[in-house]
Amino acid sequence: MIEFDEAAARAVEAMYLTPDVVGQRARVIEMLSPRPGERILDIGVGPGLLAHDLARMVGDTGRVVGLDAAPAMLKMARTRLAALPQAECVEGDAARLDFADASFDAVVSTQVYEYVAPIARALSELHRVLKPGGRAVILDTDWRSIVWHSSDEARMGRVLSCWDGHLADPHLPATLGPSLRRAGFTVARVEIVPMFSAHWQPVSYAGGIMRSIRSYVQANGAKVGLGGDEVQAWYDDQLRLAERGEFFFSVNRYAFVATR
Ligand SMILES: C[S@@+](CC[C@H](N)C(=O)[O-])C[C@H]1O[C@@H](n2cnc3c(N)ncnc32)[C@H](O)[C@@H]1O
């Protein structure tokens, strides 16, 4: 799986400041509907961009707790949230939450559960810490939904199959509804949030994920017979397609609104 060290933290932050992911955050906030005075938990707080918006919305009578397993991510989130006393960040694991039962009005987790192997346990923990009637919004990618034009489809397939290994479950959304129901939730709504570039834009989710995939597959491709030259050729092909106006990228994230 991927290691969320300082370099990864900077890459995630840059990608999550692109218009695609800014738009995603706006939709997640609309689905969560935070209200002043509420206690909200952000599981896998990452760079703290969502927690920052939530902290401003719950105001100084509310509380936002950002939890993350990676010290580099926590450092970045704490810096971002430093001026907001209603926000705090804690180190922890999504599968073992160190909070009392029914201690949050709402919980949000975007692009995190796909990294968590004991998913049933993580969802049961999420259910436990929510107040009865509380809301959860969970968003993850299903990498099977990808449509990405390439001059060499077979090589694209090998690169993406290696990239699947950066997650515990690259197809989590397809089974998340039943998993949430088994954990005791009612699933109220599921929506697609596409990351979509019909033409090349360097400052976009597609541009950022291309760089992340290149570095992950360069480090891990040997195990599946992918050499560094082949990975670079895959990357250069995308830049050539971009120059010719033939770049096309689309992948879906799926947002689940559930209630306890
Ligand atoms: C792709 S980032 C998403 C960050 C943030 N939720 C966002 O959407 O901006 C994934 C985050 O999940 C965290 N993470 C992964 N597995 C975790 C676990 N088991 N418990 C807590 N955090 C975890 C990583 O450290 C990283 O910060």
Domain of residue 132, CATH code: 3.40.50.150
User: Does the beta carbon of 246 lie inside 6 Å of ligand 1?
Assistant: no
φ, ψ of residue 188 to 5 degrees: the values are: -90, -30
Residue nearest to atom 25 of ligand 1 (CA): 70
Residue 132 inside a domain? The answer is yes
pTM of the model: 0.96
Give residue 180's domain range. Answer: 6-259
pLDDT of residue 205: 95
Predicted local distance difference test score (pLDDT) of residue 3: 85
Q: How many residues does the chain have?
A: 260
Nearest CA to ligand 1 atom 17: 69
| Atom from ligand 1 closest to the CA of residue 70 | 25
Whether 249 and 213 have beta carbons less than 8 Å apart is answered as no
Q: Decide if 1 is inside a domain.
A: no
Between the CA of 172 and the centroid of ligand 1 the distance, in Å, is: 15
pLDDT number for residue 224: 84
Task: State if residue 44 touches ligand 1 by the CB under 6 angstroms criterion.
Answer: yes
- Profile the chain (260 residues) by mean pLDDT over runs of 10 residues: 87 92 97 98 98 98 98 97 98 98 98 98 98 98 98 96 96 98 98 96 94 95 90 97 98 98
Q: Is residue 31 part of a domain?
A: yes
Q: Measure 3 CA to ligand 1 centroid, in angstroms.
A: 10
Supply the pLDDT for residue 167.
96
Please state, in angstroms and rounded to a whole number, the distance separating the CA atoms of residues 162 and 164. 5
Q: How many domains does the chain have?
A: 1
In this prediction, residue 246 carries a pLDDT of 97
Is residue 19 situated within a structural domain? yes
Q: What is the pLDDT of residue 139?
A: 98
What pLDDT score was predicted for residue 123?
98
**Relative to the CA of 95, which ligand 1 atom is closest?**
19
Q: Are 218 and 231 in contact, with CB atoms under 8 Å apart?
A: yes
What's the pLDDT at 141? 98
